[in-house]
Amino acid sequence: MATGQLALTVLMGVFLIAVAAWLSRVEDWRSYAPLSGGGGYRRDTGTAHEEKPAGLIRWLTTVDHKDIGILYGLYGTIAFIWGGLAVLLMRVELASPAQDVIELSMYNGLLTSHGITMLFLFATPIIAAFSNYFIPLLIGADDMAFPRINAIAFWLLPPAALLIWAGFFLDPLTGGQIQAAQTSWTMYTPLSAEQANPGVDLMLLGLHLSGVSATMGAINFIVTIFTERNDKVNWANLDIFSWTILTQSGLILFAFPLLGSALIMLLLDRNFATTFFTVGGGSPILWQHLFWFFGHPEVYILVLPPMGMVSYILPKFAGRKLFGFKFVVYSTLAIGVLSFGVWAHHMFSTGIDPRLRASFMAVSLAIAIPSAVKTFNWITTLWNGKLRMTAPMLFCIGFISNFIIGGVTGVFLAAVPVDLVLHDTYYVVGHFHYIVMGVIAFGVFAAVYYWFPIYTGRMYQRTLAKWHFWLVMVGTNLTFFGMLILGYLGMPRRYATYDFNPAITPMQAITALHQLATVGAFIIAIGMAIFVWNIVMSWMEGPVIEDGDPWSLKDTNQHGHEWHWHENRVNRSIVAADGGEEEVATDGGEVADE
Amino acid sequence: MGKTQTFTGGRRVVLTIYVVVVAVAALTGLILGTFVEGKLLAPKYLGLIEFPATPLGLAAYGALTLATVLGVLLGLVIYVSDRYVE
């Protein structure tokens, strides 16, 4: 056995050396590495991205912020599909009360995987997709401050995903010795400390790796925005998306290292008999404090950039500047600061000191104010606007209406007495999914469509985009509104099966609401299939954009830095091309002569 | 681009969102009232006007409460928009 392991180790070592040797031979890396001159400050480095190698090697070795942005986007999409399929299985199981589709352990594994995948492998990287691609363009920088760290930060993510998902693959291979982690995404102790399954350790290591990746990215964005801005871009005219990414990066810098430390402590508890979080010797409440000190800022790490995207995109199609720009920036910073003072509202029902609960309730209610300021400014921007109902605009409007529902339901949860009743019910699940799916994902979709002409050079199919919007909008509200009602009726979250005393809670209603949520989830899935189809097909075959201003932003004096960059690129390619392309079908409204 | 663009009035869209969100509150009240009828105390609008603890009573209570809260915010939007052009 030991000989076999030794042989395997030697074999892996030889394999890794062979890969390293091959990579060092296939390309002269210095020929296209932008920092071959060294240093992190902006200067003429003679960066020549045109010298990128072709094919797969380009994508494996790239340090270009645009390429890395696309890699993040691809990665986030794959993770979204994984997380989406996981939840579809769970919703099928919940469509009837008894266990009848998947085993309970599988359900718990999917539940854990869905949460962690959507938060850490989809939402965080998909935001990085846009920030990597567009922040340097928006601030007039050549690239990120540390392009290689940027690449390393991305390449930590695939192994992170493999570790987090490892239990699913290893379960059949090891005869059930290693299973998917079944701790839920919150990894509450003592459950997570006491489960013997090594799949939990793999998941914790993967999660730790994704945190290292996010922290490296955040440091890069902070340095880039501080030091790489073009001379014409100052703090006063820095765009709102960059402001939100800067704030988000600050939150990551303070929150993720804490998660990393807590994960290491949990791993030590599991493997080396330390007792940080155990019932005897340590404290499960300590885990919750540490986890939520990270976990609540994480909510804002995820929601601030989509808020920035909507604040940036919505005025373009409302034909007027964002109302109260300064106050939107201030509210972003205020949310950033307050987000560190609300964590214990996740712990109202744990028996913590009532004085502590009261203070956290006050701060939790207070954070609604800057959030409302943003909503107020978006609606005021819309009020006197002449709106163009393009796909990005539809998603911005859907974002706002979902945010109102998600926000109002959240205000109730911030109140201790209400939280004690609704805690750990589907009401909480409905509330935060209104934010995560109805708000964060909608902001991302708006950005995908808005910037599609830049990163693909083509235009998407606008009819399919509108189908995508309406299906996802209807599906989101059907699913998560159903969950809010389920919560009111007392359906606990996380359970794979359910049974109620009809004298207390109508069982038929619970089942019907679960079925409604399942139907909604499938409607979302159909919308997402259309989305992926549209993006892939339009990327390959969509009409080529030859217009430097496909959204007619010059009409309202809103042609931003990234579109200037796009226009320069288009002009260069038109000079080089032979012309005569078909007319570009933009999504700028109805066609007059149809 | 060889295309003209159609525009939708911002006011119409905002008012539609307002109506939809208030309707969601009414629907919530209606559904809850149906499922738990007979087990609820009568809610009081702004702590003053009592509504019956029936499905319709809860729907009206929910809609009116949210219409008031969001209506105040909408009133502020209209007030600010008319006075400050940015």
Alpha carbon distance A83, A111 (integer Å)? 9
Distance CA A288, CA A294 (A): 10
3-state secondary structure A464-509: HHHHHHHHHHHHHHHHHHHHHHHHHCCCECCCCCCCCCCCCCCHHH
Say which residues have a Cβ less than 8 Å from residue A154's Cβ, sequence separation at least 6: A68, A71, A72, A75, A128, A213
Distance separating alpha carbons of residues A410 and A380, to the nearest angstrom: 23
In the predicted structure, residue A213 carries a pLDDT above the cut 60: yes
Residues 482-521 of A with CB under 8 A from B: 484-485, 488-489, 505-506, 509
pLDDT of residue B3: 53
Q: Which of A75-89, A267-281, A327-341 has the lowest mean pLDDT?
A: A267-281
The yes-or-no verdict on residue A48 having pLDDT over 60 is no
CB contact under 8 A, B4 and A552: no
B5: chain A residues, CB-CB within 8 Å: 388, 552, 588-590
Confidence band of A28 (pLDDT split at 50, 70, 90): low
* A538-557 residues touching B, CB cutoff 8 A: 547, 550, 552
Q: Is A221 within 8 Å of A252 (Cβ atoms)?
A: no
- pLDDT by 10-residue block (mean), chain B, 86 residues: 72 94 92 82 88 91 93 93 77
Q: Is A318 on the interface with B (CB under 8 A)?
A: yes
What does R_g of chain A's alpha carbons equal in angstroms? 25
Is the CB of A481 less than 8 angstroms away from the CB of B2? no
Q: Chain A residue closest to B77 (CA)?
A: A380
What kind and span of H or E run contains A24? helix A2-26
Please tell me whether residue B2 adopts helix, strand or coil conformation: coil
CA distances from residue A70 to A75, A133, A205, A433, A454 in whole angstroms, order as listed: 8, 7, 25, 26, 12
Burial of A195 (0-12, 13-18, 19+ CB in 10 A): middle
**A488 interaction partners in chain B (CB closer than 8 Å):** 32
Mean pLDDT, residues A154-173 taken together: 96
Q: What is the pTM of this model?
A: 0.89
pLDDT attached to residue A111: 97
CB contacts under 8 A, A 90-149 vs B, are none
Examine the pLDDT at A591 and tell me if it is beyond 50.
Answer: no
Q: Write out the two tokens for A40.
A: 């992190």
In DSSP terms, A425 is beta-bridged to A492
Q: Tell me the average pLDDT across A185-214.
A: 95
Whether residue A578 has pLDDT greater than 60: no
For residue A280, the model assigns a pLDDT of 80
Interface touch A488/B21, C-beta < 8 Å: no
Q: What is the pLDDT of residue A47?
A: 47
Are β-strands B49-50 and A386-387 bridged in parallel, bridged antiparallel, or unpaired?
unpaired
Q: What is the pLDDT of residues A255-290, one digit of tens each?
A: 999 999 999 999 999 999 898 998 888 889 999 999
DSSP category for residue A582? P
Instruction: Give the Cα separation of A447 and A499 in Å (integer).
Output: 42
Q: Which residue of B has its CA nearest to A484?
A: B28
Query: Nearest CA of chain B to the CA of A325: how many Å?
Result: 9
Contacts of A470 in chain B (CB under 8 A): none
Closest residue, chain B, to A406 (C-alpha): B21
Q: Which residues of A touch B31 (CB under 8 A)?
A: 485
Q: In chain A, which among 464-483 make CB contacts under 8 A with chain B?
A: 477, 481
Backbone Cα Rg of chain B: 18
pLDDT score for A52 = 79
Predicted pLDDT at B37 = 73
Residue A562 CA: distances (Å) to CA of A46, A80, A137, A548, A558: 21, 27, 5, 10, 11
Q: Bigger pLDDT: A197 or A30?
A: A197
Across chain A, what does the average pLDDT equal?
A: 91
Complex ipTM > 0.85: yes
Asked if A589 lies within 8 A of B6 by C-beta distance, the reply is: yes
